Amino acid sequence: MYRLLLGLSLMFAALPACATEDSTAAHEAVAAGAKLIDVRSPEEYASGHLDGAVNIPFDQVAERIREVGPPDAAVVVYCQSGGRSGVAAQVLREAGFTKVIDIGPMHAW
């Protein structure tokens, strides 16, 4: 699983750094109670993160899915450039989460 996620993250890293979904929708979702998840490394998270975000590194999302909440919970994910958040969003969707917003890079917030 880790190798698959690593491969996907490398593939997504080649994509341009832009928000993959509307940041206005993400703000509204978080204001309404959506969980905000920073999928960067613990070191990146410690160096600065969005207020209220919890850190679940992208390669641990599948293992820590219970921390995200029930599949009908709204979730907003972000990372540094958009690659890892894309991988995390896909993992969540494959696990049955239907309200996933991927804003891509943190600066898109």
Rounded-to-integer distance, Cα 107 and Cα 109, Å: 5
**Three-state secondary-structure class, residue 60:** helix
Pairing of strands 74-79, 35-38: parallel
Of residues 79, 88, 91, 92, which has the active-site annotation? Answer: 79
18 catalytic, yes or no?
Answer: no
Amino acid at 40: R
Task: Give the residue numbers annotated as catalytic, written as ranges.
Answer: 79
